Amino acid sequence: MSIKVFLVISCIFAVMLAVNLEVPLYQTYAHTSGYGAGSTAFVFSAYLLGLLPTMFFLGGISDRIGRRETLIVALSFAIMATLVMMISATMSALWLARILQGVGAGLSLGAGTAYLLELTDKPHHVPLYTGFATTLGIGSGALMTNLALFYRNTNIPVSYWTTVSITLLCLFFVPFLPETKKILTSKISRLPYFPSDTVIYSATIMVAWSVTGVIIALLPFILENRHLGAWTGTMVFLAISTGVLVQPLARRLSPFHSIKAGIVLVSLSFLFLFVGAWHGMISVVLIGAALGGISSFGFSYIGGLSAVIRASRNEISRAVSGYFLSAYLGLGVPTILVGSLGKVFGLYSSLFAYGIFLVIFNSVLWIGINSIER
């Protein structure tokens, strides 16, 4: 792996590191401001207010202004998001920080993946590179904060300072990277591209990441009520970063076999999560979280991303943005709905209803995959 490739991977990691940095403190911020589980789900999904429009309208912006410049902007938004929380550790500040995080992530994922394909002489490794940086980044932020809170219980833990330092370091070195693509005649606003025959992959990652959204936004509230809040960071880390362990295996499988494994595991994951949360059994919850990570950021993620990259031809940044647009719709929209229903019918009842939907949707996906294989 060249230094250039390593630096781009580090940039994607740094941007994604900021995304879940505040998760272990969601309940602290919420209780201080008088918010409940449903409201924190909306705050969590404020991330989408920054990310979805960015991916939809600016998914291919790096084709116009350049890959390097797009990464610089993405890193800047990630730094601003963390600085906002360091200046004012409140729920209103969290709203703004989540939006800024979404913009940074939306810019970095498409541009970073395209950049890696243009810098490396091993393009078949790019799904692994992107998957590793994204997965480890999203998962590590919450764990870092959890560890920092064990050291000192504060609303502005040292993990915030650490994240800003890492991102600034990346921001310092990015200008030394060579620019690989800049089309001065293309439009600034370029919509996502969905290659033909990739709808099944978009649908799979959408439902897989919906489980991740529930874990990140809603289960911490349950753990807090069960006096298990200290495990929140570990749970989030497992729900995302365990995917790294199976990504090499997922890349060797065909996309169809990879996402079929993901469908089975994500359904099993939610069963463990629900039973563990209901009975206050943290070991069962953590097993469920780990299975969710293996599915959502392992088999489903890599299988779908590999297929989309192969089908994207000369529209890599737009196609990757389209894939992640589907993923983040799954991450946010079900979380908002389940959180809203939880305020009316109770969180456990809404989670049970969501579980039924999950099984039905995954059954339809399984049938669809088998029909395509034939």
CATH code at position 57: 1.20.1250.20
Give me the chain's average pLDDT, please. Answer: 86
Kindly state the average pLDDT of the residues 9-19. 95
Reported as a single tens digit per residue, the pLDDT across 295-335 is 998 999 888 888 887 877 666 767 777 888 888 888 878 88
The proportion of the chain whose per-residue pLDDT surpasses 90, expressed as a percent, equals 36
Reported as a single tens digit per residue, the pLDDT across 56-70 is 787 778 878 888 999
Domain housing 265: 3-181+190-373
> 125 CB contacts (<8 Å, ≥6 apart)?
none
Please give the Cα distance from 75 to 14 (Å, whole number).
7
Is residue 141 within 8 A of residue 241, CB to CB? The reply is: no
Residue 41 has pLDDT above 70, yes or no: no
Tell me which of 123-132, 172-181, 295-304 is least confident: 123-132
Q: What is the number of domains present in the chain?
A: 1
The first and second tokens of residue 367, run together, are: 């049938």
> 225 CB contacts (<8 Å, ≥6 apart)?
none
87 or 214, higher pLDDT: 87
Binned at pLDDT 50, 70 and 90, residue 40 comes out as: low
Strand partners, 58: 190
Q: What is the pLDDT of residue 334?
A: 85
The CA-based dihedral angle spanning residues 54, 133, 255, 311, taken in that order and rounded to the nearest 10 degrees: 50
Reported as a single tens digit per residue, the pLDDT across 334-343 is 888 888 888 7
Using alpha carbons, list the distances in angstroms from residue 139 to 198, 312, 319, 347.
26, 28, 24, 24
